[in-house]
Amino acid sequence: MVTIATLGSHCALQVLKGAKDEGFKTLLLCEKKRERLYRRFKFIDKLILVDTFLELVEKKCETVLQENNSILIPHGTMIAQMNSEQIESIKTPIFGNKYILRWESDRMLKEQLMKEAKLDVPKSIASPKEIDRLVIAKRHGAAGGKGYFIASNEQDYNKKRDLLIKKGIINGDNDLYIQEYHSGVLAYLQYFYSPVKNELEFFGIDKRHESDIEGLSRIPAENQLNSNKVPSFNVIANSPLVLRESLLDNVYAMGENFIEASANLVPPGMNGPFCIEGVYDENAQFKAFEFSARIVAGTNIFMNGSPYTTLIYDEPMSMGRRIAREIKHATVENKIKNIVT
Ligand code: AMP
């Protein structure tokens, strides 16, 4: 029998609850400091206690995972704490395509894949000297928006960059990617692609609450001008959104183009959960500034299903449960090799 395993953070509760609902055994790689939290949840059958998640690539951990016939579900914490080489070296089967996670972490590869998917991507700015409009400077990898900042010219950029260096958050320009800033309604589009059914499912939409950029709108302009605090985009929470129905057709088209582009550039393609992240402008055009090639934490809102999963399933369907169901279908149809790497 397969055990569904993941790292104790991000969306682990949703993933393991979904696995249990589908009848799987569950296993959590848990940092010792979080043991008390995760022991509260009875749907977690087994904990492997570690000091850091990097122990995942050590033989001791891999042996327990393999003895339990585990499939590992990757999420944002894995990408934030392990580099691409480490992730690709994991011997336990990983749900989805572990090679595409490199394309998520590397801003240049990311841009290439998004362009191949015909997404409308904000312009990237090669050097601080070329800043001629409002831009956002972003860190590489899944930094969760921490240490990002907005700048309107080179001088402004340099001042804020130097502050981050002083705080030890970055080493220099190489740690930042500069992109044209777009304002509008932010939307994070959550999808699941099943290679077993060859079908794309649109799962839900969330909005992120980011600190402290969100706090800025509560302060009168004169106080904003007097403050020399640099607001960041640190994700604190998520809340649900629904879109105007007329926008849905394009949501599916973007998802399908992304699947096609991933199959071309990063075989075996974008299998399982993914998210396209961006902003709708005043003409309801979507500018896509990001993708996540695995489950996003915004799906935690929909542990009991979303308005969109209600249209597909006659039962509560979370993304975690959908992953488990895919593993179940693939097992029955002898297609496990198609859904893991
Ligand atoms: P990311 O790591 O690219 O998901 O960015 C983190 C946050 O920064 C997003 O949730 C947005 O609030 C903001 N952001 C990133 N890129 C842009 C952009 N090009 N225009 C406007 N906001 C952005």
Cα–Cα nearest to 131, from 152, 158, 147:
152
Q: What is the β-pairing status of strands 185-194 and 199-212?
A: antiparallel
The protein residue whose alpha carbon is closest to atom 16 in ligand 1 is 289
ω into 268 cis (within 30 of 0): yes
Work out the burial of residue 34: count CB atoms within 10 Å of its CB; fewer than 13 is exposed, 13-18 middle, 19 or more buried: middle
User: What is the residue whose two structure tokens read 């590992």?
Assistant: 72
Give distance in angstroms: CA of 330 to centre of ligand 1. 35
What pLDDT sits at residue 126? 92
Work out the burial of residue 7: count CB atoms within 10 Å of its CB; fewer than 13 is exposed, 13-18 middle, 19 or more buried: buried
Give the CA angle between residues 284, 289, 290 to the nearest 5°. Answer: 125
Judge if the beta carbon of residue 233 lies within 6 A of ligand 1: yes
Cβ distance 49 to 35 under 8 Å?
Answer: yes
CA distance 43 to 318: 15
What pLDDT sits at residue 146? 79
What pLDDT sits at residue 256? 98
Give distance in angstroms: CA of 265 to centre of ligand 1. 24
The protein residue whose alpha carbon is closest to atom 18 in ligand 1 is 181
What pLDDT sits at residue 186? 96
Cβ distance 309 to 204 under 8 Å?
Answer: yes
Which pTM does this prediction carry?
Answer: 0.94
Give distance in angstroms: CA of 192 to centre of ligand 1. 22
Q: For residue 300, how far is the Cα from the chain centroid?
A: 12
What pLDDT sits at residue 201? 98
Give distance in angstroms: CA of 184 to centre of ligand 1. 11
The protein residue whose alpha carbon is closest to atom 13 in ligand 1 is 233
Tens digits of per-residue pLDDT, 130-149? 999 999 999 886 666 778 89
What pLDDT sits at residue 142? 63
Closest ligand 1 atom, CA of 180?
19
What are the Cα distances from residue 55, in Å, to 27, 58, 97, 99, 278? 15, 5, 21, 20, 34
Give distance in angstroms: CA of 301 to centre of ligand 1. 20
Q: Give the mutation target among 176, 276, 290 for probing the ligand 1 site: most ligand atoms within 8 A of CB.
A: 290
Tens digits of per-residue pLDDT, 227-271? 878 888 888 999 999 999 999 999 999 999 999 999 999 999 999
Closest ligand 1 atom, CA of 179?
19
What are the Cα distances from residue 65, in Å, to 6, 72, 121, 300, 321? 10, 9, 39, 25, 20
Q: Give the mutation target among 138, 183, 206, 287 for probing the ligand 1 site: most ligand atoms within 8 A of CB.
A: 138
Instruction: Count how many Cα atoms sit within 13 Å of the Cα of residue 113 in the half-sphere of its side chain.
Output: 30
Q: Which residues contact 63 (CB under 8 A, 6 or more apart)?
A: none
Tens digits of per-residue pLDDT, 67-100? 999 999 999 999 999 999 999 999 999 999 999 9
pLDDT 10s per residue in the chain (341 long)? 899 999 999 999 999 999 999 999 999 999 999 999 999 999 999 999 999 999 999 999 999 999 999 999 999 999 999 999 999 999 999 999 999 999 999 988 999 999 999 999 999 999 999 999 999 999 886 666 778 899 999 999 999 999 999 989 899 999 999 999 999 999 999 999 999 999 999 999 999 999 989 998 899 999 988 887 888 888 899 999 999 999 999 999 999 999 999 999 999 999 999 999 999 999 999 999 999 999 999 999 999 999 999 999 999 999 999 999 999 999 999 999 999 99
Judge if the beta carbon of residue 206 lies within 6 A of ligand 1: no
Cβ distance 112 to 265 under 8 Å?
Answer: yes
Closest ligand 1 atom, CA of 277?
4
CA distance 231 to 227: 10
Q: Give the mutation target among 125, 148, 241 for probing the ligand 1 site: most ligand atoms within 8 A of CB.
A: 148
Cα–Cα nearest to 250, from 117, 123, 122:
117
